[in-house]
Amino acid sequence: MESQEYAIEEAVQQHHWWFNGRRRLLGDLVSRYGKGKKLGLIVDVGCGVGANSSALRPYAETIVGVDPDADAVSFCRNKSYDSVIQSSLEDFSVESLPKKADMVVAMDILEHLPNDALGIAKIVDLLTETGVAIITVPAYQFLFGFQDEVGHHYRRYDKKRLFELMHVAKLKIVDWSYFNSWLFLPIVFVRLAMRVWKPKDIRSESQLNNRWINWLLSKFFNLEIFTIVNGARYPFGISLLVVVKRDFD
């Protein structure tokens, strides 16, 4: 992407209901599993335009962003990261870090990897013995469609598949939930309809939005996030999250 396109993408992620809600959820999870203390090091893999940095900054002494795109790395250097490193997750070396991570954040990253098991193994390598990883992925393969194609996704996930990957990597599930559940049916309808009606000149689902739709969906999504923050766990949704740690049992 050109620098102007990164600026547009940043603006979308700062104001779009989906990204705002996901950041609120991320901030709560980081605070909860960091036990309200500042962590030594958080690594944000696949940091993209750096939208997560504002949610992470209050909870870490050092934040390192990692992204394979050179322009994204350059764009993120004016964000709240202490450093940003150009690398894919699979090729990233723990030696590039000042120390092992107390927390790794991988928000919608695994679906971009040809070998997601290798990506998870790398996350394990980056963590301290007591470290925690927060991972989100898009849910349900039957929803694979336009947005997955433009996002260069290889797959979507369900709970069984994601849990199996964590088990093989010897990661213990600390917490989990599907999310974007309240809007599940209308989103499924739109996704399936777009297989028949393919909109022209649309590069992302985020363009299917306006100020009033964004306001309304923000209210719904924020209420759902509030329930998750307060203990609700949903058995279905458009996305899936897990919080995991290394399993020494």
User: In this predicted model, what pLDDT tens digit does every residue of 190-207 receive, in sequence order?
Assistant: 888 877 776 666 665 555
Please list, in sequence order, all residues whose beta carbon lies within 8 angstroms of the beta carbon of residue 218, skipping any fewer than 6 positions away. Answer: 17, 20, 21
Which residue type, as a one-letter code, is found at position 36? Answer: G
The model's confidence at residue 14, banded by pLDDT at 50, 70 and 90, is: confident
- How far apart are the C-alpha atoms of 102 and 42, rounded to whole Å? 6
Matching residue, tokens 């990692």: 66
- How far apart are the C-alpha atoms of 196 and 63, rounded to whole Å? 43
In the prediction, which pLDDT does 191 show? 83
User: DSSP labels for 210-248?
Assistant: -HHHHHHHHHHHHHHHHHHHTT--BS--SEEEEEEEE--
Please list, in sequence order, all residues whose beta carbon lies within 8 angstroms of the beta carbon of residue 66, skipping any fewer than 6 positions away. Answer: 43, 44, 45, 46, 47, 84, 85, 86, 87, 89, 92
C-alpha triplet 27, 106, 204: angle, nearest 5°: 90
- How far apart are the C-alpha atoms of 184 and 27, rounded to whole Å? 23
- What percentage of the chain reaches a pLDDT higher than 70? 91
Query: Roughly how many angstroms between the first and final C-alpha of the chain, as a whole number?
Result: 45
| 217 close to 119: Cβ distance less than 8 angstroms | no
C-alpha triplet 194, 196, 198: angle, nearest 5°: 55
In the prediction, which pLDDT does 247 show? 73
Domain ranges of the chain: 3-246
Domain 3-246 has CATH 3.40.50.150: yes
The model's confidence at residue 6, banded by pLDDT at 50, 70 and 90, is: low
The model's confidence at residue 246, banded by pLDDT at 50, 70 and 90, is: confident
In the prediction, which pLDDT does 190 show? 84
Minimal CA–CA distance to 26: which of 11, 39, 9, 44? Answer: 44
The model's confidence at residue 2, banded by pLDDT at 50, 70 and 90, is: very low
pLDDT value at 3 more than 80: no
| 237 close to 180: Cβ distance less than 8 angstroms | yes
Could you count the other beta carbons within 10 Å of the beta carbon of residue 104? 26
| 45 close to 123: Cβ distance less than 8 angstroms | yes
Q: Which helix (H) or strand (E) holds 138?
A: strand 127-138
In the prediction, which pLDDT does 1 show? 47
Q: Over range 154-158, report the average pLDDT.
A: 97
pLDDT value at 4 more than 60: no
In the prediction, which pLDDT does 208 show? 61
In the prediction, which pLDDT does 37 show? 85
